[in-house]
Copies of this chain bind each other. A is one copy, B any other.
């Protein structure tokens, strides 16, 4: 009986792909094992359990999202960069809803947790966008959280079909980007 030749990365990658196909909620150890042509307990040679698998998928998703955003903003600045980052992020979430869903509700265990590292990578990509706006250093964190919240909220709501009514969703997203663009340009003055 030949071996499958799996390792942790392969199991996590397959789990992410399967989650994208059937939804994160439907991802089980049994289904993943079947997909990999292996019996369920064999997966435990590569991941510590379902929790560990989920965390691996979450870290992978954040890393890939950071990479997509980082690539998209190359050579751009201002509203151009903001729009590119926004679309890259949303496209990623819509193309990979399962693996991005794995990132929701996951808490990093510490600063060295791969999830924390990958999350910081994504923030760094957004941070590069802000550098082309005149946002003071004291406000960078606030602006970063604001942009991240807006993108995360929009993408997850759309991914869950939270937008039911009439208007075109793509148009709404452009509107959101415009609002952020205006808000970042006029960001000035102390908060406290």
- Residues of A in contact with B (beta carbons under 8 Å apart): 25, 101, 104-108, 111, 116, 119, 139, 141-143, 145-146, 148-154, 156-157, 160-167, 169, 171-172, 174-176, 178-180, 182-184, 186-187, 191-192
- Asked if residues A146 and B157 are in contact (CB atoms below 8 Å), the reply is no
Q: Which residues on B sit within 8 Å (CB–CB) of A106? A: 160
Q: Which residues on B sit within 8 Å (CB–CB) of A178? A: 183, 191
Cβ distance A12 to chain B, nearest Cβ, rounded Å: 20
Given A156-B156, A179-B184, 11 other A-B residues pairs in contact with their CB atoms under 8 A: A107-B161, A116-B164, A141-B165, A142-B171, A142-B175, A145-B172, A145-B176, A146-B175, A146-B179, A153-B154, A171-B192
Q: Which among A108, A146, A182 has the highest number of chain B CB atoms within 10 Å?
A: A146
- Quick one: which of B25, B101, B141 contacts A167, CB cutoff 8 A? B141
26 pairs from A and B in contact (CB 8 Å cutoff): A101-B105, A104-B104, A104-B160, A105-B160, A111-B164, A119-B162, A119-B164, A141-B166, A142-B171, A143-B175, A145-B167, A145-B169, A146-B150, A146-B154, A148-B153, A148-B157, A149-B154, A150-B150, A151-B153, A153-B153, A156-B156, A171-B192, A178-B191, A179-B187, A182-B182, A183-B183
Q: Which residues on B sit within 8 Å (CB–CB) of A164? A: 108, 111, 116, 119
In whole angstroms, how far apart are the Cα atoms of A110 and B53 in the complex?
Answer: 34
Q: Which residues on B sit within 8 Å (CB–CB) of A186? A: 182
In whole angstroms, how far apart are the Cα atoms of A97 and B145 in the complex?
Answer: 20
In whole angstroms, how far apart are the Cα atoms of A174 and B167 in the complex?
Answer: 29
